[in-house]
Structure 1
């Protein structure tokens, strides 16, 4: 449980100006090491950060007193001395994530350890700003009550939405289905509605951020995330951190595919093909729950988009030399697993070998991936 002083600090966190930090650099470096390497020892932290061990010990004691870290049950023995590992204190705080979809919203809540506490998808007929905020507030209040979340421990909120940043005024060029959202500074509007510090990313970057903390990112620190949803996009993770680019638009993988030459591998195309074969789906955002690999039209979709996957994966592999290509978004896991063996990655063959190629895997975060990713943003900004 966080101390009263720390509760007050979190409660007033939204008053910090741009660039200010809840933690200074050395404590932040320690928290980062503990977050990514559970049960790490103080000695290992010192070796990784180059902070003198005596300083690490002093700072760790302070982080333990604040309730940010806690000792794990695992012990380590070195040079005859027994030491305890360190882990993030899951109860120190929590974050909310909001995904603004084309005809629905999704809300996620995540604890300080990076574990997803809950998610909820809500279909909406009215995607106006007032409607979305009102429904999101209702969901957040219900989650807070159900899981007994102390308002004083709310660290912040993240928002993931379809579109791209076109300027530095906080506005985004939004999908036409939710056009009203293009008229506002989204972060400021949501921050005011929830009284929390708020950050905004596009949906592909958000889903990649979530996969980086709650999914395959525990195994791969460098990966390209293919976001397959109503549209096709992506996100980039390097050394565990989001690559945002100059304007916040890094990972717009769909722009690699000229529409007149390539069929974009999105789920609206799949929905149209399935409907042609008499298969109706309730929502692309819940497709994973009902998908049948034997549906007529599935192989047709794969055939149409196979060249697109080949091109994007080949370009991503050649440009970024990542550990993995992760296929995620709202694509059903079974469909992603059907696509993966058919992807052909071009690489020059020289002296009997190709250059090392990334693994191609399906995403592990399949329930509300954008909202889960959005929930990681306060953790990433304040502590990681």
Structure 2
């Protein structure tokens, strides 16, 4: 991920600490913030007033106190102060979303697209951004930037990426240079599975309970992302979470969406699009159960390795597959226990946002970059 050309909002470290405390613990009073952050009440009041004026936090409903006096007015994250966009390219279509500062999806647009030219992709994305902003009445004044989720690992200087074949025009070039030249907005570039991990981590049931998480994203292939101490972990070369390396492409069976399509084709079910899978599940439930049994066995290896090395609080099974499949895989992994390990195991969840995770996560990348607190 590269730094953008401009940052519309510059926050101090203390302001970031307030934002992240509220993200983690939910609505919090000024006195509670002062105690938790070790700041005077006056300093906390001043900082919170600045954040309220920026529209990044807001006062929630007052809570009555047990004793007489003014009611406690908790502060919460506000989505009004800033927003960002996320974009990614799927086989045959482009997806663009807008998310607000609270991480909520504001709007989404997809458009057919079959070009391998990244400049053409940028043109389509900018057109989609204009349509979305006009539709919901957003101005560029609070726009933090655009995150672009790209499949494939970084393979060389200038963050060149080994992207999939249907994006071969994106290979051997500096995507940073191309997109910064082609787009009129600040741009961040992130691996698609890493972006998905950020979106999954921002869900309340994860961010408010755990400081670390592993996310497995089953799309056309399989990828992963890592959150360590509430921050994206990318590794020495920017490729942390490339769990697809555990299941090389030459394998006949991989835990991926393409593998599921091939499995169904071999069983005589004509399908070539992941989006059509959901409509087949009721009629072919035994086939899907068989496939999930096999894939869960394969994922145990990755789960065991990730747990041993990282000791995460949460593991999320995410992807561009139907919710019933993600839930089925998560349940199979929950039922699996490492009987040789006496320590605490991570909680395993199925994604609640599924295929939207990549694009929402791409939109959260600018928000996270501007507001995340470095935990020292």
TM-score by length of 2: 0.88
The aligned residue for residue 39 of structure 1 is: 27
Would you say 1:106 and 2:116 are equivalent positions?
no
CA 1:203–1:330: 2 relative to 1, 3 Å: same
* 1:69 Cα deviation after fit: 2.2
CA 1:333–1:151: 2 relative to 1, 3 Å: same
Would you say 1:175 and 2:151 are equivalent positions?
no
The aligned residue for residue 342 of structure 1 is: 332
- The question of whether the paired residues in 1 share the 8 Å contact of 2:62 and 2:71 is answered with no
Separation in 2, partners of 1:141, 1:134: 11
Separation in 1, partners of 2:225, 2:173: 24
Point out the more displaced range, 222-231 or 240-249: 240-249
1:243-264 Cα deviation digits (max 9, x unpaired)? 1112221111122335667832
Equivalent residue for 1:145, pick from 134, 142, 161: 134
Separation in 2, partners of 1:78, 1:50: 25
Point out the more displaced range, 200-209 or 86-95: 86-95
* 1:337 Cα deviation after fit: 2.3
CA 1:59–1:78: 2 relative to 1, 3 Å: farther
Equivalent residue for 1:55, pick from 23, 40, 43: 43
* 1:316 Cα deviation after fit: 1.8
Separation in 2, partners of 1:346, 1:77: 45
Separation in 2, partners of 1:346, 1:315: 14
The aligned residue for residue 8 of structure 1 is: none
* 1:308 Cα deviation after fit: 1.2
- The question of whether the paired residues in 2 share the 8 Å contact of 1:41 and 1:85 is answered with yes
SS of alignment partner, residue 62 of structure 2: strand
SS of alignment partner, residue 202 of structure 2: helix
SS of alignment partner, residue 249 of structure 1: coil
The aligned residue for residue 247 of structure 2 is: 257
* 1:214 Cα deviation after fit: 4.0
CA 1:241–1:200: 2 relative to 1, 3 Å: same
Question: Going by fraction, where is strand more abundant, 1 or 2?
Answer: 1
Consecutive unaligned residues of structure 1, counting only runs of 5 or more, are 1-12
Aligned residues: 366
CA 1:220–1:281: 2 relative to 1, 3 Å: farther
Equivalent residue for 2:119, pick from 109, 130, 133: 130
Consecutive unaligned residues of structure 2, counting only runs of 5 or more, are none
CA 1:142–1:290: 2 relative to 1, 3 Å: farther
Would you say 1:186 and 2:175 are equivalent positions?
yes
* 1:113 Cα deviation after fit: 1.4
SS of alignment partner, residue 174 of structure 1: coil
* 1:42 Cα deviation after fit: 1.5
* 1:277 Cα deviation after fit: 2.4
Equivalent residue for 1:373, pick from 357, 361, 365: 361
Separation in 2, partners of 1:186, 1:199: 10
Separation in 1, partners of 2:122, 2:202: 26
Separation in 1, partners of 2:338, 2:252: 21
The aligned residue for residue 9 of structure 1 is: none
The aligned residue for residue 148 of structure 2 is: 159
TM-score by length of 1: 0.86
The aligned residue for residue 233 of structure 1 is: 223
The aligned residue for residue 304 of structure 2 is: 314
Point out the more displaced range, 201-210 or 169-178: 169-178
Separation in 2, partners of 1:188, 1:45: 42
1:167-186 Cα deviation digits (max 9, x unpaired)? 35132221222121123332
Separation in 1, partners of 2:12, 2:252: 48
